[in-house]
Amino acid sequence: MSSLSDIIPSMTFTEETCYQENFTRLALSDETVKSITYEECTFDSCSFISTKFVNCRFTTCKFTDCTLSAVSLLNCRFTEVNFNDCKVIGIDWTKTQEFEDITFKHCQLNYSNFKLMKIPKTKMTDCEVKDVDFSEADLTKGDFKNSDFEKTRFFKTNLTEANFKGAKNYLIDPTINTLKKTRFSYPEVLTLLNGLDIIIE
């Protein structure tokens, strides 16, 4: 198992930058990483369990086959970051400073919190997005096709022009969420009628 010192050998951990670094099979548990900028870095088969990232920046980075579980992201910035085949579980993304142009594909995002976040154009495709809170979030033009939203909360959520084609197990009440040119697939789209006092025969 790698230690924190393996991340940036011979460097201190304040106001440092990692540029085009490749991290493979790095494992951190209950560690704290502060004030590091990761630019155009790749993380392959890495594990971060209960790791605290404080004032860190991830720009144009890629995570592949990584596990991020119960990770703390205090005042961190994520811009143009891709997560592929990752377990990104139990994270409170509301603690981040910036979250822009993020893509999750074939990921598990269960038990995460995006409440009140303005994260338009976010992509979560072919993912498990179970028991996640999107209450009062702005998901305008988001792409969520083929994802599973079992027990996920949509409340006063802006889903304008979002794509839910092929998605399943979502419970979205059209009377309390914003649906404008939102794309759904049949027959799952019929669940939108669950909150209405109507009878379908």
Are both 116 and 174 inside the same structural domain? yes
Please work out, in degrees rounded to the nearest 5, the angle formed at the alpha carbon of residue 162 by the alpha carbons of 195 and 122.
125
Domain boundary among 105, 129, 148: 105
Assess if residue 78 is contained within a domain. yes
User: Are residue 133 and residue 181 in the same domain, yes or no?
Assistant: yes
15 in any annotated domain: no
Domain match, 129 and 159 both: yes
7 in a structural domain = no
Instruction: Note if the bond before 187 is cis, omega within 30 degrees.
Output: yes
Number of domains observed in the structure of the chain: 2
Whether 116 and 162 share a structural domain: yes
Same domain, 127 and 194: yes
Do 64 and 125 fall into the same domain?
Answer: no
- Find out whether 32 and 55 touch, Cβ atoms under 8 Å: no
Tens-place pLDDT, residues 130-180 = 999 999 999 999 999 999 999 999 999 999 999 999 999 999 999 999 999
Biggest alpha carbon distance in the chain?
70
Question: Which residue among 78, 105, 132 closes a domain?
Answer: 105
Q: Where are the beta strands (DSSP E) in the chain?
A: 16-19, 22-24, 27-29, 32-34, 36-39, 42-44, 47-49, 52-54, 57-59, 62-64, 67-69, 72-74, 77-79, 82-84, 87-89, 98-100, 103-105, 123-125, 163-164, 183-184
Q: Are residues 139 and 189 in the same domain?
A: yes
26 and 101 both lie in a single domain: yes
pLDDT at residue 190, rounded to an integer? 73
pLDDT in tens, 82-139: 999 999 999 999 999 999 999 999 999 999 999 999 999 999 999 999 999 999 999 9
Task: Please indicate, yes or no, whether residues 181 and 193 belong to a single structural domain of this protein.
Answer: yes
Q: What is the CATH number of the domain that holds 46?
A: 2.160.20.80
Report residue 193's pLDDT band, with 50, 70 and 90 as the boundaries.
Answer: low
Greater model confidence, 3 or 46: 46
Is residue 47 within 8 A of residue 26, CB to CB? The reply is yes
Same domain, 156 and 198: yes
Residue 120 structural domain: 109-201
24 - beta bridge partners? Answer: 44
For residues 184 and 151, membership in a common domain is answered with yes
79, 105, 131 - which closes a domain: 105
Quote the DSSP letter at residue 4: G
pLDDT of 199:
54
What predicted TM-score, i.e. pTM, was given to this entire model?
Answer: 0.87
Closest CA to 163 of 146, 148, 175: 146
Q: What is the mean pLDDT of residues 6-14?
A: 39
